[in-house]
């Protein structure tokens, strides 16, 4: 949470003259399990330039620790459903990274893969409070509300005002507004939220995922389809709801509290506990009972009733989750494309009565912290990420 200045949202409390964000007030040790051959994850073979690492990294079928972190207190761990790399934030606000690095998404000034966490020296003088991982890019947020970005930038997803192949070291995004309080990354796009609850987006506009009422496509030379990318943060100005007969009405006074991005879609939670979604509509991941793409944020009707608002939102690669005020976990979309998709939010019956504290998604696997337990599920094949007692390649 932001400890404030009075100019910011009423939901951000505190009385400091200078706004400061804080790290989560938890600490622990990092455990890792699952696939660790970073350059092979979600690929049929390792790229030629990474051939030296073809046989490095194994599937970890149970929890392991990194020796280099034996004396490091971890505040939070960050990855994403599109990412083959990870970040951790220490209790002192330092950012570490490891994994795939072919676009410089680890922030160490090179493209060398890392098989163990390493401190990002370019941010060592900053206090990092949160971060986000795209497919090949990273956002990091400091305690004074400044966002840094690094990694792939072919589609402007770094928000630095240019389109380049990659930025290998952390640099600030091109933004001069109110202090930022949230960052999120899709596959090739990014979202940030300021302390007044305004939402900004940048990067690739495909499927309308930036929320500006356009997919940004145009015909270039040789009949090639290209995108008019947003190279700097642009405010998402319109939120809507649709009636059953298709009538579109603007939704006023949307103050964004939280944002979460899947590969090509986004969820937003506002101060009135309403949920909005937009972007790619395939497999029902937007929760609107249809598979149509949405070019601007559209209200998810289920959470727009007294006592049934949402308190938490999460996104997977092709799915979405929300926890309502009563503590029920809702799911929509798909984790296994060979099975029937869920077109609108449905409660996860197996978890009724559990208090969900946190949730994270891989491309198809889900892991949840609920009460004092950890719960995981997902379709085969799995590679140890479900950390079952009797796991193996065919389980």
Q: What is the 3-state secondary structure (H, E, C) of the chain?
A: CECCCCCCCCCCCCCCCCCCECCCCCCECCCEEEECCCCCCCCCCCCHHHHHHCCCCCEEEEEECCHHHCCCCEEEEECCCCCCEEEEEECCCCEEEEECCCCCCCCCCCCCCEEEEEECHHHCCCCEEEEEECCCEEEEEECCCCEEEEEEECCCCCCCCCCEEEEEEEEECCCCCCCEEEEEECCCEEEEEECCCCEEEEECCHHHCCCCCCCCEEECHHHCEEECCEEEEEECCCCEEECCCCCEEECCCCCEEEEEECCCEEEEEECCCCEEEEECCHHHCCCCCCCCCEEEEEECHHHCCCCCCEEEEEECCCEEEEEECCCCEEEEECCCCCCCCEEEEEECHHHCCCCEEEEEECCCCEEEEECCEEEEECCCCCCCCCCCCCCCCCC
Domains of the chain: 1-30+65-237 (2.130.10.30), 239-364 (no CATH)
Where is average pLDDT lowest: 106-115, 135-144, 277-286, 383-392?
Answer: 383-392
Calculate what percentage of the chain has a pLDDT beyond 70: 90
Whether 389 shows a pLDDT value over 70: the answer reads: no
pLDDT tens for each residue of 31-64: 999 988 888 877 767 666 666 666 667 889 999 9
Selected residue with higher pLDDT from 56 and 133: 133
State the average pLDDT for the chain. Answer: 91
Residue 58, pLDDT score? 84
pLDDT exceeds cutoff 80 at 205:
yes
């Amino acid at each position: 949470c932001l400890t404030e200045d009075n100019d910011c949202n009423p939901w951000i409390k505190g009385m400091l003259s200078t706004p400061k964000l804080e790290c989560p007030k938890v600490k622990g040790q990092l455990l890792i399990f699952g696939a660790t051959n970073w350059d092979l994850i979600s690929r049929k073979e390792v790229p030629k330039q990474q051939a030296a690492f073809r046989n490095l990294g194994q599937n970890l079928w149970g929890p392991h620790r990194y020796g280099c972190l034996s004396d490091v207190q971890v505040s939070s761990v960050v990855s994403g459903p599109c990412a083959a790399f990870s970040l951790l934030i220490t209790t002192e606000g330092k950012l570490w990274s490891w994994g795939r690095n072919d676009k410089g998404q680890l922030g160490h000034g090179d493209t060398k893969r890392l098989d163990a966490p390493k401190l990002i020296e370019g941010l060592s003088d900053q206090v990092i409070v949160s971060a986000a991982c795209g497919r090949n890019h990273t956002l990091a947020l400091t305690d004074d509300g400044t966002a840094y970005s690094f990694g792939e930038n072919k589609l402007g997803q770094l928000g630095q005002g240019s389109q380049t192949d990659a930025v290998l070291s952390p640099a600030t995004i091109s933004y001069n507004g109110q202090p930022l309080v949230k960052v999120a990354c899709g596959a090739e796009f990014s979202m940030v939220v300021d302390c007044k609850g305004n939402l900004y987006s940048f990067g690739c506009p495909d499927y309308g995922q930036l929320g500006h009422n356009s997919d940004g496509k145009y015909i270039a030379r040789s009949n090639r389809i290209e995108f008019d990318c947003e190279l700097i943060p642009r405010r998402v100005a319109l939120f809507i709801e649709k009636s059953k007969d298709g009538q579109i009405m603007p939704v006023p006074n949307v103050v964004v509290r939280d944002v979460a991005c899947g590969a090509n879609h986004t969820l937003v939670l506002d101060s009135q506990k309403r949920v909005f979604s937009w972007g790619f509509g395939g497999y029902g991941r937007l929760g609107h009972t249809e598979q149509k793409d949405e070019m601007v944020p559209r209200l998810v009707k289920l959470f727009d009733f007294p006592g049934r608002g949402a308190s938490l939102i999460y996104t997977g690669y092709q799915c979405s989750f929300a926890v309502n005020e009563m503590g029920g976990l809702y799911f929509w979309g798909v984790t296994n494309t060979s099975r029937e998709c869920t077109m609108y939010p449905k409660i996860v019956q197996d978890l009724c009565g559990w208090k969900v504290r946190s949730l994270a998604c891989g491309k198809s696997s889900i892991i949840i912290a609920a009460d004092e337990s950890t719960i995981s599920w997902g379709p085969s094949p799995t590679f140890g990420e479900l950390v079952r007692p009797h796991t193996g390649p065919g389980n």
